[in-house]
Amino acid sequence: DIQMTQSPSSLSASVGDRVTITCRASQSISDSLNWYQQKPGKPPKALIRSASSLQSGVPSRFSGSGSGTDFTLTISNLQVEDFATYFCQQSYSTPPYTFGQGTKLEIK
Amino acid sequence: QVLLVQSGAEVKKPGSSVKVSCKASGGTFRNHAINWVRQAPGRGFEWMGGIIPFFGTAKSAEKFQGRVTITADESTSTAYLELRSLRSEDTAVYYCVRILWALMDVWGQGTTVTVSS
C-alpha cells in the first residue's frame, strides 16, 4: 500500500497569514492526490482534486501543487473559517485509498 | 445534488456485529461508487471497502476481509456495511462516501460505533 505522510501534524497561524501543508507519498503517484478539510464533528469536505484542481465553491485562497511524491496545500490570507484539520489522500493505486494522518490548523 | 444519510449511533458488545446503512438521494444510485471509510479517535482515515450497485460486487480492504460485508439495495437506494466480531479497536466514526473520478466528493454525516463491554 502507498503510505502518505503529512507535515506538520499541527500548525498555529493568524488570520491573514499564508500557510503551507506538505504531503509526501511513499512512491510516485503522478498527480493523483486529493485534499480535504474537516471541522470538528463534521465529515470531511473535498477541496482539491488531482493535486491542483479546486472543487467548485472552494475559495481561490486555497491552492494545491506538486506531482510525483511531494505535494503542497497552500492557504493564502487565512480566514477564521479555515481553522480546521486537513488531510491528503492518494487515488493513484487503489484500492486501497490511503490518507495522510492530518494537519490541525489552529489560531495563534 | 447527491445526499447520503446514514443510520444512527450504535453501542455494541465485543464479539457482536453491527450493520450501518447509507441512503442515497439524488443522482442515479446504481452508478454511484459507494465506499466506507472509518475514523477512529485520534487516528486518521481508513478505507474499508466499496461497491458499485450496478455491478453488485463489493471490494474490501485486506485488513477487513472475512469480517466485513458491503451490500447495496437498488430498490431503496441504500448501501450497507456490516462488520462482525467487533473489538474495542473498531470504535470509530464510520462514513459512507461517494467516489467520483477518484475523489471522495460526497460524504454521509457519519455513524459512531462504540464497542464496549
The pLDDT tens digits of the residues spanning A57-106 come to: 999 999 999 999 999 999 999 999 999 999 999 999 888 999 999 999 99
Q: Answer yes or no: do B109 and A34 touch at CB < 8 A.
A: no
Q: Is B25 left (phi over 0), alpha (psi -120 to 50) or beta?
A: beta
Determine the pLDDT at residue A53: 98
Nearest CA-CA distance, residue A14 and chain B, Å: 25
Nearest CA-CA distance, residue B74 and chain A, Å: 23
Percent of chain B with pLDDT strictly greater than 70 = 100
Q: Answer yes or no: do A94 and B50 touch at CB < 8 A.
A: no
Q: Is the pLDDT of residue B31 over 90?
A: no
The three cell numbers of residue B50 are 466499496
At B56-108, the pLDDT tens digits run: 889 999 999 899 999 999 999 999 999 999 999 999 999 999 999 999 999 99
Smallest Cβ distance to A96: which of B47, B99, B105? B47
pLDDT grade, residue B41 (50/70/90)? confident
Measured in degrees and rounded to the nearest 5, phi and psi for residue B62 equal -55, -35
Q: Is the pLDDT of residue B27 over 90?
A: no
Q: List C-alpha distances in Å: A97 to A2, B7, B70, B85, B99.
A: 8, 24, 16, 24, 11
Nearest CA-CA distance, residue B103 and chain A, Å: 6
Determine the pLDDT at residue B56: 85
Q: List C-alpha distances in Å: B76 to B72, B97, B104.
A: 9, 17, 22
Determine the pLDDT at residue B42: 76
Instruction: Report the b/e string of B13-32 with b at 16+ CB within 10 A.
Output: eeeeebebbbbbeeeebeeb
Residue type, B96: C
Lowest mean pLDDT, pick from A38-42, A83-87, B52-56: B52-56
Q: Which of A31, A26, A23, A94 is nearest to A68 (CA)?
A: A31
Instruction: Assess B37–A contact: CB distance below 8 Å, yes or no.
Output: yes
Instruction: Report the b/e string of A31-66 with b at 16+ CB within 10 A.
Output: bbbbbbbbeeeebbbbbbbbbbeebeebeeebbbeb
Q: Angle at the Cα of B44 (from A63 to B67), degrees rounded to 5?
A: 135
Q: What is the count of residue pairs from A and B with beta carbons less than 8 Å apart?
A: 52
